[in-house]
């Protein structure tokens, strides 16, 4: 179970880093994938950049916690971080995005993050 817990945590953290990269360097497609398309050349550009910074930084913090503070610290971090995809679900729904994206991507991600936290607590 330890290998599974650590592997899932690292993959989720790296996924956050990837999302950050994508919002920085491919903001249009990243926004569409999020579920609420936005034009990065317009007013939304700054917000897309901020989202990229948020996601990438959270991924790096998660990796640092896992490497330097241990599984329990990473587990608590993931419990807190799970709020973001839960609220992303609501955001997509409030702004006319597809329910399939809201629940199939964001809500599912929050669930996987909480499962990861549970596995880390068990280590």
Query: 37-71, pLDDT tens digit by residue?
Result: 999 888 899 999 999 999 999 999 999 999 999 99
Mean pLDDT value of segment 96-112: 97
Q: Which residues contact 118 (CB under 8 A, 6 or more apart)?
A: 75
Mean pLDDT value of segment 82-93: 97
Q: What share of the chain is helix, strand, coil (3-state, %, to 5)?
A: 85, 0, 15
- The answer to whether residues 57 and 92 touch, using CB atoms and an 8 Å cutoff, is no
Q: Burial level of 50, CB count in 10 A (0-12/13-18/19+)?
A: exposed
> Could you tell me the pTM of the whole model?
0.93
Cα 97–90–53 angle (5° rounding)?
90
């Amino acid at each position: 179970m330890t290998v599974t817990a650590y592997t899932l945590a690292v993959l989720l953290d790296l996924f956050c880093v990837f999302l950050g990269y994508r919002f920085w360097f491919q903001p249009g497609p990243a926004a569409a994938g999020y579920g609420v398309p936005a034009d990065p050349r317009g007013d939304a550009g700054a917000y897309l950049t901020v989202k990229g910074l948020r996601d990438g930084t959270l991924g790096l913090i998660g990796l640092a916690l896992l490497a330097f503070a241990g599984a329990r610290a990473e587990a608590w971090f993931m419990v807190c971080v799970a709020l973001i995809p839960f609220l992303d679900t609501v955001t997509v729904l409030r702004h006319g995005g597809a329910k399939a994206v809201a629940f199939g991507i964001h809500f599912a991600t929050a669930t996987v993050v909480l499962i990861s936290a549970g596995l880390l607590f068990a280590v």
